[in-house]
Every structure is written in C-alpha cells, then in structure tokens.
Chain A
Amino acid sequence: MKLPIFMDNHSTTRVDPRVLEAMLPYFTEQYGNAASRNHAFGWEAEAAVDRAREQIASLIGGAGKEIVFTSGATESDNLAIKGAAWFNRKRGQHIVTVATEHKAVLDTCKRLERDGWSVTYLQPAGDGLVTPEQVAGAVGPETTVVSVMLANNEIGVVQPIEEIGAAVKAKNPKVVFHCDAVQGVGKIPFDVEKARVDLASLSAHKMYGPKGIGALWVRRKPRVRIDPIIDGGGHERGMRSGTLPVPLIVGFGAACEIAAREMADEAVRVRRLRDRLLSGIQSRLDQVYVNGSLERRLPGNLNISFAFVEGESLLMALKDVAVSSGSACTSASLEPSYVLRALGIGEELAHTSIRFGIGRFNTEEEIDYVVDLVARSVQRLRELSPLWEMHQEGIDVSQIEWTNAH
C-alpha cells in the first residue's frame, strides 16, 4: 500500500491509464486542428473529436451532435443557465434552483439576479433531497430555467431527477431544464431522455478523464437554444467558440466509454468499500453522524460528522489520507459548509464533518488503514476536546450560552 492515500474522488480523479494511452498520440502525431477542413491533420482530429462526442453522448442516452465542449463543468453550468436565461429573457425572468447546488450554479444565478432575474432557491429536506412537487411548485409562467443537480458534490445525495423532470415539464413545458450531472455521470445511470433534461453539464476529470475538458449536452429534439457566452470563430455550432483541445476530448471520450462498460460492476465494488469504511468507523467510535440520505447516495460518497472534533484538526491527523472537510477553518470566511447548513445541520456539527470520496483505484487495504487512523485520531482529539469532556459529564453542549460569536 502506498501513502498518501487518495480518497477525495469528488474533487478530482486520477486519469485512468487507458485514458492516458488513448490521448497520447493526439499530442505528438495527430495534432491537427479539428477545424482545419483542408488537410489530413484536420480531418483526423475532427474524426477523433466526433468519435468522442458519440462516446460521451451514448453514456447519457443522447446524440453526439448534441455535445458542446467546454473547459469544464463550471463553464458548462455558466453557459447553460446564463445562455438559456438570456435567450428566453423576453418570455420571463424567473429561475428555480436548489440551495445545495454547486457554486458554479448558485453564483451564476446570483449574477443573473443582479441583472434583473428573480431566483427561487429551494431548501432540501434534512436528508438533502428535494421532491418533484417542491420543484414543480416553484415553477410559474414566468419561469424559464430550472436547474437541479443529479448528485451532490459534498454529501453525494442523488436527487430524484427523472421525477423532477417529469413534474417540471408537466407544470410548464417551455421551461429549460438544466441538470448539473457532473458528480453522477459515470457512477450511476443517468439518461437525458428519462430525466427529460434539456441541458446537462458534464466534466471529464470527475470520471477518470483529464482536467480542463467538460461538455454541455444541448437537446436537439425539440431544439433548445442558448445565447453563447464566448464569441469567436463559431465552433460548436456557435455555442462555444474556441479551438477544440483534441487530446483532452479524446481522453474524455475514452473515459466515458470505460464508464459505460464498467460502471455497474464498479458501483458494486465501490459501494462495498464505502460500507466497509462506514461500518468500520461506527464499530470503533460513537457520536458519528452520516450527513444526508445514506440510501439515495453515490456509491463512493461518505460524509460524516465526528461530534466534538473540529474537522480541520482531524484532517491534520489524517495527513497521509487525502480527504476534505466541511469545516470552515480552511477558508477565510469562517463559515462552515453551506450544503450542510442547508440540510439544517447545526454549525457545531458542520464544523466536524469529513467527506470521503472513494473511487476506482481505492482498495480494501486502504479502507482498513483509514478506518484505523480515523478511529485513533478522533479518540486522541476527543481527549483534547473540552466539548467531549462536557459531553462525558452529561452536559448538553447545545444548551450552553456561548459568549463569542466568531
């Protein structure tokens, strides 16, 4: 077993060696510009890009021609929401989204609010989920865009996206339904037809592909139109100008093809590792809480709060393990995770949360190592914690009136 262990697969993933191998010739041999229409280098590049479009689209039940390449999911989310909002601005200026969406969605919506749109931010239930009725209930005649993610990047909960799509379209068929599918695609089944989405954001590096390449899937039947945010040579049917990064696109395609083939088996294996991690931790520690629904969750996600132990101090003890924390101490804002807070989880528990992201390359041996290290570290830090001491003395920490506010 090699240290450090990477268990932060929601932040990014290792490029699969098979993906890298597919990419390499496109750096050194077939380096043409896919937009060059008059020589073999260009034709070769274009053929490779078109093959990748098919590989990507078929993973989500779409057509290759519906793929618009972007620099990544942040750009895809921006293009989807701004593009659809601006294109449809004469029909209405209302957007519906969820408070636990990625910042690329939320901050895009905030920008549009400054430009005159109104936005409804739905609050999920304590398990992190929104209901189809809740989403449809917020949709009115003025609503032009609804954006709901497939799976959450912090707590891994999977929204009932197919039911949401059906409910939204039943309420207002003209709504453009966008789904940030980044964390879910390649991990769990996702079909743009079944979910009735019009726009879907994808990213390669969350699914063992390279960083720097993403896509927005844009429905053609019926045709969904968006305003571009990057103008130029008219690439990607005018929706996103800029020379295509062919090697990255080839890698993205290869990653999708592998995912399509191996996803079902991989999900079982990764889920088993996740369950082993959780039961191992629970067998050695009490006062641990899983954040968000455990049932409707990505196979590789585990987000837990270790009560009375501050998250960043725990990360420090886990220095051989790459994980992340919902604690705020790492940021200048001093605010703990907005996702956990939207679930109604108290700030004191939000500060104690750790996100484990298990992926393709993790092993059982690594899980066992992490369980042992986490258990020992939490025990040590609890011995250091005045809150744990109070808890042991039977004092309810939440009932104390604390004097300092930050």
Chain B
Amino acid sequence: MAYSNKVIDHYENPRNVGSLDKSDERVGTGLVGAPACGDVMKLQIKVGDDGVIQEAVFKTFGCGSAIASSSLATEMIKGKSLDEAMQIKNTTIVEELNLPPVKIHCSVLAEDAIKAAIADYRKKRDGKQDPAPAGDEARAKSEATSEA
C-alpha cells in the first residue's frame, strides 16, 4: 500500500511523542484499542487553568497510519478548549492524512483517544465544571464558578 506524504511525514517525524504524569490532576489520559487488534493509542492532555489544552502527547502501537493519526490528533487539540477538542471528528483526520478506506479505523481510534483523555480529565475533577476558556462569555462563566 502506498502511504500519503503526510502519513510518512508524521510517521518519520512524529509530533508530541511522550508521556505525562498520570497522577497529575491537570492531566487526562486516554488509552484506547487493544494489542490483539494491532492498535493501541495512549493520548494525554494537560489542561491549563484557563481550560485550554496546553500540552498533548501520545504513544502508539500500530501501523503507520495509526501513528500518524495520533500524532496529528495531538497537534489538532493543542491550544483548544476541551469543548472544542470534543468536536474534532475522525473525518477531519481522514481528509488531512488522505487515509484510504482500510485505514479509517485508525482515525476513529484517534478520535476515541481524544474523547477518552478528556473524559479521564473530567472524571478526575469529579463532576466539577471545566476551567473556563478566556473568552468574554467564558470569563463571565468562570466568575460564576470558583476555580479549583
């Protein structure tokens, strides 16, 4: 199978490879896939006081397209609010990387990994609202709720 140049670029120069401290309250960890299926993605986010994803890192066991999808996913969510990051769809990854039909599951897994990391972060905060992004409306909201 021929890979698109973008897949090859992310595979050869993966962005944001690494791990964050799982026990840190500001860190959310998503671990999706299974070794038996040939794909495991670990995606972690670190959320700032302003509710913006400051850092996003990944490690992936999987084919080149899976590595590229998760690498791209970390790039896409960095600097976004959690709600914005939740809106990211796998189809955007498919288009960006030019994934063929048999590799679409890689992009689905990357979307799952983002959602799982955010869910983990939110669970850690135990139902507390997300820190608010620094927009006008958001600021008003953040004044209404006390920051953790």
Contacts and interface: CB of A to CB of B under 8 A. Distances in A.
The main secondary structure of chain B at its interface with chain A is mixed
A404 B113 CA distance: 11
* Interface range, B side: 20 to 34
B42 A386 contact: yes
For the complex of A and B, list the 9 residue pairs with the smallest distance between their C-beta atoms, beginning with the closest.
A402-B34, A348-B35, A347-B36, A386-B42, A329-B63, A312-B63, A386-B59, A351-B38, A316-B64
Q: Quick one: which of B39, B41, B59 has the most chain A CB within 10 A? A: B59
Contact of A406 (B1, B37, B67, B112): B37
Interface stretch (B11-19, B45-53, B120-128): B11-19
29 contacts: A308-B61, A312-B38, A312-B63, A313-B63, A316-B3, A316-B11, A329-B65, A330-B1, A334-B37, A336-B38, A347-B36, A348-B36, A351-B35, A351-B36, A384-B14, A384-B17, A384-B61, A384-B67, A385-B61, A386-B31, A386-B40, A388-B61, A398-B35, A402-B35, A403-B32, A404-B33, A404-B109, A405-B37, A406-B37
A325 to B, nearest CB: 10
Interface in B91-113: 101-102, 105, 109, 112
Given A384-B60, A386-B61, A332 B67 contact: no
A404 B62 CA distance: 14
Given A386-B31, A386-B61, 19 more contacts: A310-B38, A310-B39, A313-B63, A316-B8, A327-B38, A327-B63, A329-B65, A331-B102, A334-B37, A346-B36, A385-B60, A385-B61, A386-B41, A387-B40, A387-B61, A388-B61, A403-B34, A406-B34, A406-B37
Interface of B: 1, 3, 8, 11, 14, 17, 19, 31-42, 59-67, 101-102, 105, 109, 112
Contacts of B60: 384-386
The main secondary structure of chain A at its interface with chain B is loop
Interface in A362-406: 383-389, 397-398, 402-406
